[in-house]
Chains A and B, each alone.
Chain A
Amino acid sequence: MPATLSLSEDTIQRLAPDSGAVAAARGLLKKNSFLDAAVSADQTWLLGRCKGSGKQPYEVSVDMADPSSPTCRCNCPSRKFPCKHGLGLMLLYLQSADTFSQREPADELLAKRDKKTAREQKKVEGGEPAPRKVNRAALAKKASAQRDGLDLLEKLVVDLVSGGQWFEETRLDKLERQAKQLGDSYLPGAMYVLNRLILTGREEGLADDERMARASDLIGHLWATVQKGRNYLDEKIAGDESQAEADAAVEDVLGKVWQLTELKEKNYWRTSLSLLELAYERIDDAARQQRIETSHLIELGDGTIYQAITYRPFKGMKQIAEQPSFTQALMIAESAVYPGFLNRRVRWDKAAEQAEELKPAHWKKVYALARPEFKTALEAFRQQLKHPLAPREAVLLLRCERIGKIGDAVVLEDAAGMRIEAVDQRKDYSNTANLVRAAGMLGKDRPALLVRLIVRPATNTIAAYPLAALTAKHHLRLGL
């Protein structure tokens, strides 16, 4: 029997379009659905048939020519890729490789592999992609709608603050209707902020000063949107703003959707990224009506914290694949790095991704990359806050000298004695409770914490929402 291919459960999890597919694949194994499982002599093909709901078993194959990025093929009608049958065949091989006989793939499969290789080769040799076609008429129409939208937003915000009592139910109902109009004007960013304001107005159990401070923050954001939005439409940049900052804000304000080619053209692009996921978050955002899945990744070269993000609207969530969570180190040949602030979004083509098994050296490296002093992190965060449209939060890796409690507050302290309070952001789950537990295990080893720094409007203090804790030997994820 051939030796085990370089395949791991982590690879299978990474390839899966969603966790349901892995669970379904496990179900196939439980039901003994696979027939004639085989592996090729050169160990680069897994072949098998799988009993399904169709008359004939499905023909399943996994091309392992690139073991970190296997290609699954199956003749089932599933729209998921890879389907549960491909994932199941890999799981079966992981579980019981010795039950696989030896068989060679059909010529048809070999031809498909050759075609794929040729396609990839062509991509490499092809050089620069053809220039994008721009539909100028459509762009002009959109810009005109956005201008009208900004006029509407201006009127709406002025009206909102002039009369006061913005939190009354009748005002909130009116705002709700107006927020929808903004969505029609291609101003999704403003619509989300307005929705958040409505939710803040309606939130039960919120202290008045907290409600007012939050509202002040959101209304300030809306007014900045009005002011900057027109400039961005005219492609003007204010004196205190860099091109990168403007590009980042454009995404938020005008709902710009960046294409990979466009990012490359503008040099928002990096090669040879070495990434490792420190935390993964799934947030259902009622204001955006989206599930936001974020993989927080550290670049092992320079310690930058990047974010791979997938936005999945509640309506039609199943049509969009989940953001993968990575349990292996990733070598990314080339990746788009969106314009942004402290945490920039990254996106790459699956073909550019190579996975590597995690080793203790990885954690040693990550631990060494943590910021030893809170001061520099806070300075960088405050700098970000100076831009009126920048996110009011930033994810950073901080080394803590001590983690302890003062009364009920959980407090992080650096070597210089500077302290930040750890707080929760979710009502239904406590990352801080998990941090207390983790600190009981790692506290003596001066752990590094991946935290999201946030400003608490009512008290105007910066607090840390813990996402992960690590030392040179351990890594604990703290939230969902």
Chain B
Amino acid sequence: MSREQLLGLAADVDRLLAAGATAAAGHDGLARRGRTLRELGQKVAALASVADTVERVVSSSPSEAGRVFLDLVVMTRQIRGSLAAVGVEGTLQTMEASGPWQTPMPTREVNNIHESLMGESSSSDLHDAAERQVAGDLRLLPSALAALESKKLSIADTVADNVLPAVGCGVLPDLLNKLDIPKGKAADARRLRAICKIDSDLGADLVRKALSEGSPAMKIQALECLPDVGQPGEAEKTGLAMWKEKKKEVRVAALRALRKATGDESLEVLIQALRDDDWQIIQAAQQSLAELPHAKTTERLLYEVEQGLTALLSPASKPKKGATNAEKAREAALGMLQHVIAALGNRKEVKNSPAVKTLSDLRHHAEPVIRLHAVFALAKLGPEVKEVVPALIEAAADADLHVAEAAVNALSGMPPDKRETAIPALLERIADSKCHQHTVYNILRMLPAHMPRFGDKILERMRPLLKGKDDYVRSGAHYALSAIGPAARKLLPEILEAIKTGWVCLNCNEIFVNIEPEGTTAIPTLIDLLKERNRQVRAYALQGLASYGPKAQVAEPLVAQLLKDRDGTVKYNAERTLAAIKGEM
């Protein structure tokens, strides 16, 4: 009884708070409540003080109503606290078994990844955790499950491929609850993918269901997953049955489903797909051919190369409807040959097969595009295959710019010790005035790593480049010399001389301190350059001096004068240089 009255009083107070304390003064309902509490107060002494406060509110004047009412608010607040109830009626249903779960991640890291998953911060924390395989934390689950629907594909895919599989089988009920096979879209496809990674048996059943009654998105995902979760040969059979489907995405997935096939028919289908007009189909076929375990894949691809070469050789491929058709046929043969070469280069087993010789030979083909693809394929084989580096050296001198550049790029991507034999030839290339500026630039970037063996030759070849007219090449030479450091000291006069002509490499101002750390020659010359009329030269000389820090103290008076220079950049650089000279930067 008293409990009900007290809680009733609290509710009255809430209502009167909205109506205003002046409405509480003389309020009939509150007065009745007060009387009831007064009666109850005769049995429970504590209620008497509540009744007192209520009566004070009811009998208050408008001017004092607010204060008295607030006393009642504080009192009902405490009453509420003491009467706050617990307990839920009903039959308690035990939770279904789940897990196993774990929460091993440092909480601060979990918070950062949660923010990544919610798209509130950069996704780098998420990708980093996925890479370290540490994202299997229960606390990430709510946001990870929500992120399956994220519009940021890299986040959604990382969740499906790494985060949820790392959490393990505990997450399966959550994934299954939301999985919609008949109408499923991208998020459902990711759910299916995650399930397949966690439980391949369950995944296989769902994949089969998706193939028979799933939406297009689910069929595509099912085809992608089937080779990993299905019975041996199941994916091959399904892929062959579906590769002619109307929807392109399904055809692409069907071709990808053939990646573990062993049958001749699958091999032929993939080869045939290389002739398609659509690049997605071609790419899917190339990817599957790269992995295909069929024993004769490489042999079959080599046969296609031969056929392609023959087709190119035969005069105009027997045109039937005039020259246009002949051109088309030739283009088709060329295209096919490129795709086959690319597929060949992607196969790991090619490294120890006759295909290497074929690819090396293709390097001499009359068609630049064939030579280019041969270079790409050889680059993928890597420097461990003995034919590769010599072939690339030769290709670096190719008459076609793209071929030459591709070869130089391939060499620059190799560890320096593996490409060492290429350096003399590359130095010849940069001496050739016909060599394209991009190729020269890329060669220059490789050279610092080869100074121990080819130091003198490298510097001799670079000397004329510093005086050349091509700014791009000169910049490349500056960067290379800056990276070479003190070993390039003998070219310092040329570098300084070049600046006097008015040309500077704006982003390479540490070249002097790198080449001559003590600054004996460079600092006086740079100080002289501060008086140059060309503002770019003054700005550049200031940057050069700044890189010496306190060692350039002798320049301080002249630099201070430049604080009043007409040019904004020169003034700014002067400020920074002064700070550097004083050791403040």
Q: B-contacting residues of A (Cβ < 8 Å)?
A: 10, 13, 18-20, 22-23, 26, 55, 157-159, 161-167, 209, 212-213, 215-217, 219-221, 223-224, 227, 280, 282, 322, 325, 327, 374, 378, 382, 385-386, 388, 392, 402-407, 409, 411, 413, 418-421, 428-430, 433-434, 436-441, 443, 455, 457, 460-463, 475-480
| Neighbouring A residues of B111 by C-beta, 8 Å | 19, 282, 480
Query: Would B18 and A461 count as touching, CB distance under 8 A?
Result: no
- Chain B min CB distance to A451 (Å): 12
By size class, the interface of chain B is 35 or more
| Neighbouring A residues of B82 by C-beta, 8 Å | 382, 385-386
B109 on the A face (CB < 8 A): yes
Q: Jot down 9 A-B pairs with beta carbons below 8 A, ordered by A.
A: A13-B106, A19-B125, A20-B112, A159-B66, A216-B10, A219-B17, A405-B95, A455-B84, A476-B138
Q: A216-B10, A404-B92, A455-B80 are in contact. List 19 more A-B contacts (CB 8 A).
A: A10-B106, A19-B112, A26-B132, A55-B510, A158-B67, A164-B19, A212-B17, A223-B70, A282-B108, A388-B74, A406-B89, A420-B86, A433-B142, A438-B99, A440-B97, A443-B95, A460-B85, A461-B84, A477-B107
| Neighbouring A residues of B98 by C-beta, 8 Å | 437, 440-441
Per-position binary interface string of chain B over residues 4-38, scored 1 when its CB falls under 8 Å from any chain A CB and 0 otherwise = 00010010011111111111000000000000000
Which 5 A/B pairs are nearest by Cβ-Cβ distance?
A: A164-B20, A440-B98, A385-B81, A441-B99, A220-B77
| Neighbouring A residues of B101 by C-beta, 8 Å | 437-438, 441, 476
Per-position binary interface string of chain B over residues 470-509, scored 1 when its CB falls under 8 Å from any chain A CB and 0 otherwise = 0000000000000000000000000000000000000000
CB neighbors of A among B87-146 (8 A): 87-103, 106-112, 114, 118, 124-125, 128, 132, 138-139, 141-143
Query: Would B170 and A441 count as touching, CB distance under 8 A?
Result: yes
Query: Would B513 and A55 count as touching, CB distance under 8 A?
Result: yes
- Chain A min CB distance to B547 (Å): 7
- Chain A min CB distance to B104 (Å): 8
| Neighbouring B residues of A457 by C-beta, 8 Å | 80
Query: Would A402 and B17 count as touching, CB distance under 8 A?
Result: no
CA distance A81 to B114 in the complex (A): 25
- Chain A min CB distance to B383 (Å): 20
- Chain B min CB distance to A276 (Å): 14
Query: Would A411 and B92 count as touching, CB distance under 8 A?
Result: yes
Query: Would B74 and A164 count as touching, CB distance under 8 A?
Result: no
Query: Would B93 and A477 count as touching, CB distance under 8 A?
Result: no
Q: Which of A325, A386, A402, A441 contacts B81 (CB 8 A)?
A: A386
B560 on the A face (CB < 8 A): no
CA distance A167 to B89 in the complex (A): 35
| Neighbouring B residues of A411 by C-beta, 8 Å | 88, 92
- Chain A min CB distance to B514 (Å): 8
| Neighbouring A residues of B76 by C-beta, 8 Å | 216, 220
Query: Would B92 and A22 count as touching, CB distance under 8 A?
Result: no
Query: Would B107 and A405 count as touching, CB distance under 8 A?
Result: no
- Assuming A419-B87, A421-B88, is B138 touching A434 (CB within 8 A)? yes
- Chain B min CB distance to A326 (Å): 9
B276 on the A face (CB < 8 A): no
| Neighbouring A residues of B510 by C-beta, 8 Å | 55
Chain B residue with the shortest CB-CB distance to A392: B81
Query: Would A164 and B21 count as touching, CB distance under 8 A?
Result: yes
- Chain A min CB distance to B22 (Å): 6
Q: Which of A166, A215, A224, A434 contacts B139 (CB 8 A)?
A: A434
B71 on the A face (CB < 8 A): yes
- Chain B min CB distance to A429 (Å): 6
- Chain A min CB distance to B288 (Å): 32
Query: Would B88 and A419 count as touching, CB distance under 8 A?
Result: yes
CB neighbors of A among B373-431 (8 A): none
Chain B residue with the shortest CB-CB distance to A164: B20
| Neighbouring A residues of B176 by C-beta, 8 Å | none
Query: Would A404 and B93 count as touching, CB distance under 8 A?
Result: yes
| Neighbouring B residues of A403 by C-beta, 8 Å | 95
Query: Would A18 and B142 count as touching, CB distance under 8 A?
Result: no
CA distance A158 to B584 in the complex (A): 58
CA distance A418 to B92 in the complex (A): 12
Q: Which of B78, B106, B142 contacts A386 (CB 8 A)?
A: B78
Query: Would A406 and B90 count as touching, CB distance under 8 A?
Result: yes
- Chain A min CB distance to B94 (Å): 5
| Neighbouring B residues of A428 by C-beta, 8 Å | 118
Query: Would B69 and A161 count as touching, CB distance under 8 A?
Result: yes
| Neighbouring A residues of B7 by C-beta, 8 Å | 460
Query: Would A434 and B92 count as touching, CB distance under 8 A?
Result: no
B65 on the A face (CB < 8 A): yes
Query: Would A443 and B94 count as touching, CB distance under 8 A?
Result: yes
Q: Which of A220, A282, A385, A434 contacts B74 (CB 8 A)?
A: A220
Q: A-contacting residues of B (Cβ < 8 Å)?
A: 7, 10, 13-23, 65-67, 69-71, 73-74, 76-78, 80-103, 106-112, 114, 118, 124-125, 128, 132, 138-139, 141-143, 170, 510, 513, 547
Q: Which of B71, B81, B91, B125 contacts A223 (CB 8 A)?
A: B71
Query: Would A440 and B99 count as touching, CB distance under 8 A?
Result: yes
Query: Would A404 and B73 count as touching, CB distance under 8 A?
Result: no
| Neighbouring B residues of A217 by C-beta, 8 Å | 77, 80
Chain B residue with the shortest CB-CB distance to A159: B66
CA distance A428 to B101 in the complex (A): 21
Chain A residue with the shortest CB-CB distance to B23: A164
CA distance A430 to B81 in the complex (A): 26
Q: Which of A216, A322, A327, A406 contacts B93 (CB 8 A)?
A: A406
- Assuming A159-B66, A455-B84, is B139 touching A478 (CB within 8 A)? yes
CA distance A428 to B146 in the complex (A): 11
| Neighbouring B residues of A479 by C-beta, 8 Å | 139
CA distance A455 to B107 in the complex (A): 27
- Chain B min CB distance to A285 (Å): 15
- Chain A min CB distance to B325 (Å): 55
| Neighbouring A residues of B89 by C-beta, 8 Å | 406
Q: Taking each of B78, B89, B107, which has the highest tally of chain A beta carbons within 10 Å of its own beta carbon?
A: B107
CA distance A135 to B65 in the complex (A): 41
- Chain B min CB distance to A469 (Å): 9
- Assuming A223-B70, A382-B84, A461-B84, is B18 touching A167 (CB within 8 A)? yes
Query: Would B108 and A325 count as touching, CB distance under 8 A?
Result: yes
Query: Would A19 and B106 count as touching, CB distance under 8 A?
Result: yes
| Neighbouring A residues of B15 by C-beta, 8 Å | 212
Query: Would B20 and A19 count as touching, CB distance under 8 A?
Result: no
Chain B residue with the shortest CB-CB distance to A461: B85
Query: Would B142 and A19 count as touching, CB distance under 8 A?
Result: no
- Chain B min CB distance to A312 (Å): 13
Query: Would A440 and B18 count as touching, CB distance under 8 A?
Result: no
Q: Which of B86, B87, B107, B170 contacts A480 (CB 8 A)?
A: B107
CA distance A430 to B100 in the complex (A): 19
Query: Would B86 and A378 count as touching, CB distance under 8 A?
Result: yes
- Assuming A162-B21, A430-B142, is B86 touching A224 (CB within 8 A)? no
Chain B residue with the shortest CB-CB distance to A154: B67
Query: Would A209 and B14 count as touching, CB distance under 8 A?
Result: yes
- Chain A min CB distance to B522 (Å): 15
Q: Taking each of B14, B88, B91, B98, which has the highest tally of chain A beta carbons within 10 Å of its own beta carbon?
A: B88
| Neighbouring A residues of B22 by C-beta, 8 Å | 162-164
| Neighbouring A residues of B80 by C-beta, 8 Å | 217, 455, 457, 460
- Chain A min CB distance to B540 (Å): 18
Query: Would B139 and A22 count as touching, CB distance under 8 A?
Result: no
CA distance A354 to B17 in the complex (A): 53
Query: Would B74 and A224 count as touching, CB distance under 8 A?
Result: yes
CA distance A76 to B66 in the complex (A): 62
Query: Would B14 and A477 count as touching, CB distance under 8 A?
Result: no
- Chain A min CB distance to B140 (Å): 9
Q: Taking each of A419, A457, A476, A480, which has the highest tally of chain B beta carbons within 10 Å of its own beta carbon?
A: A480
CA distance A455 to B67 in the complex (A): 26
| Neighbouring B residues of A421 by C-beta, 8 Å | 86, 88
- Assuming A23-B125, A216-B77, is B70 touching A157 (CB within 8 A)? yes
CA distance A18 to B109 in the complex (A): 9
- Chain A min CB distance to B539 (Å): 20
- Assuming A19-B111, A219-B73, is B106 touching A327 (CB within 8 A)? yes
